[in-house]
Structure 1
Amino acid sequence: MENWYELIHFQTYGDKRGSLKKLLMKSKLKEDEKIEEIYVLFSNQGSVRGNHYHKETLEYFSVISGKARVALKNLDTGAFEEIIMSANNNVILKVPPYVVHAFKNEEEEPFIMLAISSKEYNKDDTDTFPMIII
């Protein structure tokens, strides 16, 4: 696998009450990386999210319920890859600028995904450039 996106594995902690998943900690961020926005996506069967890239924004994604087919395309090299993410993977997907990303729900149940962004969305300066890959 090329180093144009990253799957970061994280530890799950559990006891009789349930489990705890620490997805991202300050200690895991590089010095120049920051977080300005955190949001949750709810996607019904057949829906597609993303199909875009950013020139400045770094994003992290983790499926917290259900399953998503993820398509990624590196605009610098043209490399394309698809992966399946689910709540059982215990990974967070790190998507740097200039990587097109899209998420499709092919399952009957909705998928829920946590998204973390280095740049707050601004409708007047979106840093979002559409490109359909899935």
Structure 2
Amino acid sequence: MNSMERLCDLINIDPYEDQRGMLKKIIMKSQLQDSGEVGEVYLLYSNPNSVRGNHYHKKTFEYFTIVSGKAKVALKDLSNGVREEFYLSSNDNIVLKIPPYMVHAFKNEDHQQLIILAVSSKEYSQSNPDTYVKEIL
């Protein structure tokens, strides 16, 4: 797999900057054509050496962007078994679009807390979680 091929979509963010600071549009309606809707938005706070994810969904699309820190990202496409690992930080201005049947995990290998903004196409339900554990990181 060359560096241009990815298991998921990487959506570039074009920050707007002026003397007040910066604005980053994370998700726009035009980017939701596959998933159709937003079910929930949440922040993940990950302590040093902790791992988040290690699961996949059958119906849910998820979008992730690093707010603060640096994450080791691991992905595995269940349709063909292809696996990928790379790093993302808040300076990359990237939103990761994770489709169904894509195992995903994030590891904080840094000494600072990692903060990730997540957008999900489905609201989490304990009675029907659409979350299937598969450890890859």
TM range (shorter): over 0.9
Once the 2 structures are TM-superposed, how far is the Cα of residue 132 of structure 1 from its aligned partner? 0.4
Instruction: Compute the RMSD of aligned alpha carbons.
Output: 1.2
Aligned to 2:124: 121
Matched residues, number: 134
TM-score by length of 1: 0.96
Residues 50, 10 of structure 1: CA spacing in aligned structure 2 closer, same or farther, 3 A cutoff? same
- Amino acid of the residue matched to residue 14 of structure 2? Q
Q: Deviation per CA, 1:6-41: give whole Å up to 9, x if none.
A: 100010111111100001111222165211100000
Q: Distance in 2 between matches of 1:85 and 1:130?
A: 23
The equivalent position to 1:75 in structure 2, one of 71, 78, 89, is: 78
- Aligned pair 1:94/2:97, yes or no? yes
Give the unaligned 5+ runs of structure 1: none
TM-score by length of 2: 0.94
Once the 2 structures are TM-superposed, how far is the Cα of residue 3 of structure 1 from its aligned partner? 5.7
Residues 69, 17 of structure 1: CA spacing in aligned structure 2 closer, same or farther, 3 A cutoff? same
Q: Distance in 2 between matches of 1:98 and 1:35?
A: 18
Residue 34 of structure 1 aligns to a residue whose secondary structure is: coil
Residue 88 of structure 1 aligns to a residue whose secondary structure is: helix
Residue 124 of structure 1 aligns to a residue whose secondary structure is: coil
